[in-house]
Amino acid sequence: MLGNVNVDAVVIGAGVIGTSIALELARSGHRVAVVDKAGGIGHGSTGASSAVVRFNFSTWAGVATAWEARHCWEAWAEHLDAPQADGLARYRRTGLALLDVDLAPRSAFIPLFDRAGVRYEEWDAATLATRLPGIDTGRYWPPSRITEERFWHDPSGTLGALFTPDAGFVSDPQLAAQNLADAARRHGVALVLGQRVVAVPKSGDRVDGVELADGRRIGAPVVVNAAGPWSGGLNDLAGAGADFTIGVRPMRQEVHHVPAQRGYNPPGGFGMAVADLDLGTYLRAEINDGLLVGGTEPACDPFQWLADPDDAHPYPTAEVFEAQVTRAARRFPTLGVPNRPRGVVGVYDVADDWTPIYDRTDVPGFYVAIGTSGNQFKNAPVVGKFLAAIVDRVENGGDHDADPVRFVAEHTGAEIDLSAFSRRRPVNEDSSGTVMG
Ligand SMILES: Cc1cc2nc3c(=O)[nH]c(=O)nc-3n(C[C@H](O)[C@H](O)[C@H](O)COP(=O)(O)OP(=O)(O)OC[C@H]3O[C@@H](n4cnc5c(N)ncnc54)[C@H](O)[C@@H]3O)c2cc1C
């Protein structure tokens, strides 16, 4: 794209969220441009994502959105209207065991699962031990630092799990964003890569597109902030945020790659994902008989808040590697803890209640899909539709604040009141205060 151009909507950010929004805006008839400062698609949080698809959220909207999105991943080629299935990310259905923990009890999810139609099984400790051979079913809560003696104390009891057989992961999160970008392009969306948005100019009160670092301007009456962990800075550029009740902040994260414990992955397949807030870790299978190990923000570990996402130290550190993998090895005693840290570093865009903000703002024409809190990769196919519905309602004179969009999910028929993701909502007190949302 050369020179100044005008479109109907500019999306800032070509991660999994921005590309999905661009696709759905284009499908609903808008001329769209997506701008990213990176030279490719999905180079932000998306590229570092563990891409776990699970349904345990603390709200109806969270559960219903994740359950709907899983249908999109399962039928990814259809979701994209892709001409061929080659070169598409794949959904690996492995099931997920959420180990019992008071912070996120089964009783919080089961009524929501029943309402949404999410399949589940309740496991006691004996069943967990049978279904996940090699697991230590001890209850260790609360998580402690691995340098504390307490970490090695005997368990205080045993725990079971809430198992969801339809959970899993997406094989390659960056490829998934690329797939969405390709689908968007087929609908005429322009991708402007390697260009930073440096200003969000206005015409009167309303946004009037974006200004790029090279001085070009893309004119548009609608601008969507899908800038991931950089989203707070973009809100500042647009002068949005004064009426938000929920703040967002970048937080550094590490996810580690280790060889899986013996027998975890079935031959040629993938073992089940485990969310273990009891010890403060989560894990899922990876190709080549590997294992990804991440953290669930145990209160004993320092949180790595960042003033600027670009300040994030880019390599995994021995300290975080040892903490996360040793916790996983406490749960699966045959898991080895390699000497050298290996894995990826990424940055979450954490909302105060770990629930995203999908909304309009008080700046006419400026919309946000932010605060994805380390848990919204899975929802991206549906988030695109949320934003298209909100833009449609507001740009046609509707008042999404007073009369919020009630989104009806295509695959499941669930009705989702999008005020659950409002910038002006009360802080979600039911949130676990972790990546679980
Ligand atoms: C380590 C890690 C593990 C995760 N694991 C999971 C998981 O298992 N399951 C799950 O559901 N979610 C997970 N997540 C969360 C999920 O990956 C994110 O919610 C999702 O990728 C956010 O996508 P996004 O498009 O909003 O942001 P990003 O992918 O960060 O994209 C934002 C884009 O905006 C661009 N940008 C920023 N500022 C500007 C500017 N001024 N001008 C132009 N472009 C700009 C950036 O270059 C970037 O490409 C994880 C996240 C991380 C970091």
Supply the DSSP symbol for 416. E
Average pLDDT rounded to a whole number, residues 343-362: 97
237 falls within a domain: yes
88 falls within a domain: no
346 falls within a domain: yes
Beta carbons within 8 Å of 177's beta carbon, 6+ residues apart: 14, 15, 16, 19, 41, 42, 46, 380
Beta carbons within 8 Å of 100's beta carbon, 6+ residues apart: 106, 139, 159, 160, 161, 162, 278
**Is 396 found in the same domain as 266?**
no
**Is 28 found in the same domain as 60?**
yes
Average pLDDT rounded to a whole number, residues 420-433: 92
* pLDDT surpasses 90 at 85: no
14 C-alpha to ligand 1 centroid (Å) = 9
pTM, to two decimals: 0.98
427 falls within a domain: no
Domain boundary among the residues 333, 351, 369 is at: 351
**pLDDT range class, residue 2, cuts 50, 70, 90:** low
**pLDDT range class, residue 30, cuts 50, 70, 90:** very high
pLDDT in tens, 108-153: 999 999 999 999 999 999 999 999 999 999 999 999 999 999 999 9
The CB of 291 under 6 Å from ligand 1? The reply is no
Chain center to CA of 435: 9
**Is 198 found in the same domain as 160?**
no
Average pLDDT rounded to a whole number, residues 308-320: 96
Give the CATH number for residue 46: 3.50.50.60
* pLDDT surpasses 60 at 270: yes
264 falls within a domain: yes
Burial of 134 (0-12, 13-18, 19+ CB in 10 A): middle
**Is 341 found in the same domain as 258?**
yes
Average pLDDT rounded to a whole number, residues 228-251: 97
**Is 184 found in the same domain as 65?**
yes
Would the CA dihedral through 127, 128, 134, 136 be positive or negative?
negative
| Residues of the domain holding 309 | 95-169+249-351
The CB of 160 under 6 Å from ligand 1? The reply is no
**Is 310 found in the same domain as 176?**
no
| Closest to 412 (Cα-Cα) out of 26, 51, 74 | 74
**Is 359 found in the same domain as 347?**
no
Hey, what are 184's tokens? 């968007």
**Is 198 found in the same domain as 79?**
yes
The domain total for the chain is: 2
64 falls within a domain: yes
The CB of 230 under 6 Å from ligand 1? The reply is yes
| Closest to 407 (Cα-Cα) out of 396, 395, 397, 393 | 393
The CB of 345 under 6 Å from ligand 1? The reply is no
* pLDDT surpasses 80 at 385: yes
**Is 187 found in the same domain as 315?**
no
**Is 415 found in the same domain as 398?**
yes
**Is 337 found in the same domain as 259?**
yes
401 falls within a domain: yes
Q: Which amino acid is at 4?
A: N
Beta carbons within 8 Å of 201's beta carbon, 6+ residues apart: 207, 208, 209, 210, 211, 217
45 C-alpha to ligand 1 centroid (Å) = 3
The CB of 17 under 6 Å from ligand 1? The reply is yes
226 C-alpha to ligand 1 centroid (Å) = 9
**pLDDT range class, residue 430, cuts 50, 70, 90:** confident
Question: Which atom of ligand 1 is found nearest the CA of 18?
Answer: 25
**Is 263 found in the same domain as 149?**
yes
Give the CATH number for residue 301: 3.30.9.10
Helix (H, G, I), strand (E, B) or coil at 254: strand
90 falls within a domain: no
